[in-house]
Amino acid sequence: MRNKIIIFLGVIGVIFLALVIVYFRRGEIKEKQTEKKLLFYCGAGLRPPVSEIVKIFSREHNVKIDCTYAGAATLRIQIQVTKRGDFLCRVMSPG
Residue-by-residue DSSP string for 17-32: HHHHHHHHHHHHHTTT
pLDDT at residue number 31? 54
Q: Compute the chain's Rg from CA coordinates.
A: 14
* Residue 41, beta-bridge partner list: 68, 88
Residue 72 domain flag: yes
Tens digit of each residue's pLDDT (9 = 90 or more) over 79-90: 888 888 777 776
User: CATH no. for residue 79?
Assistant: 3.40.190.10
Range of the domain at 37: 2-89
Residue 39 domain flag: yes
pLDDT at residue number 30? 53
> Quick check: 81 and 73 in contact, CB under 8 A?
no
Band (28; pLDDT cuts 50, 70, 90): low
Structural domain total, the chain:
1
Band (93; pLDDT cuts 50, 70, 90): low
- CA dist 86 and 35 (Å) reads 15
Tens digit of each residue's pLDDT (9 = 90 or more) over 31-85: 555 667 888 888 888 888 888 988 998 998 888 989 888 888 888 888 888 888 7
Whether the model clears a pTM of 0.85, i.e. scores above it, the answer is no
Residue 95 domain flag: no
Residue 94 domain flag: no
- CA dist 77 and 67 (Å) reads 16
**78 or 25, higher pLDDT:** 78
The residue type found at 75 is: L
